[in-house]
Amino acid sequence: MCGEKCFDENKGWYTGSMRSSEIMVPRAALACTSYVLDGERMGLRVFMAHMQHLMEMVWDGKE
């Protein structure tokens, strides 16, 4: 499930609830967004803060 703060390149920041049964988004996530390639949703990007650094986790939808 996407955290409360989500980012979309077209909409900007918004409150959303993108759900995926295949991946658990960490509760510490600042934001998450799905990304699209050629009109098809390809994966999920999650942003987290850790030790004063912004980290990005990318899940590409592949095993």
pTM recorded for the entire structure: 0.39
DSSP, res 11: T
Q: 32: which residues sit within 8 A by CB, 6+ positions away?
A: 2, 3, 6, 7, 18, 25, 44, 45, 46, 47
Query: What pLDDT digit, counting tens, does each position of 6-54 carry?
Result: 555 665 655 555 444 444 555 566 666 776 666 666 677 777 776 677 7
Q: Which of 24, 22, 25 is nearest to 6 (CA)?
A: 25
pLDDT at 12: 60
Enumerate the β-bridge partners of residue 58: 45
User: In angstroms, how far is CA 10 from the centroid of its own chain?
Assistant: 15
pLDDT at 49: 72
pLDDT at 55: 73
pLDDT at 39: 66
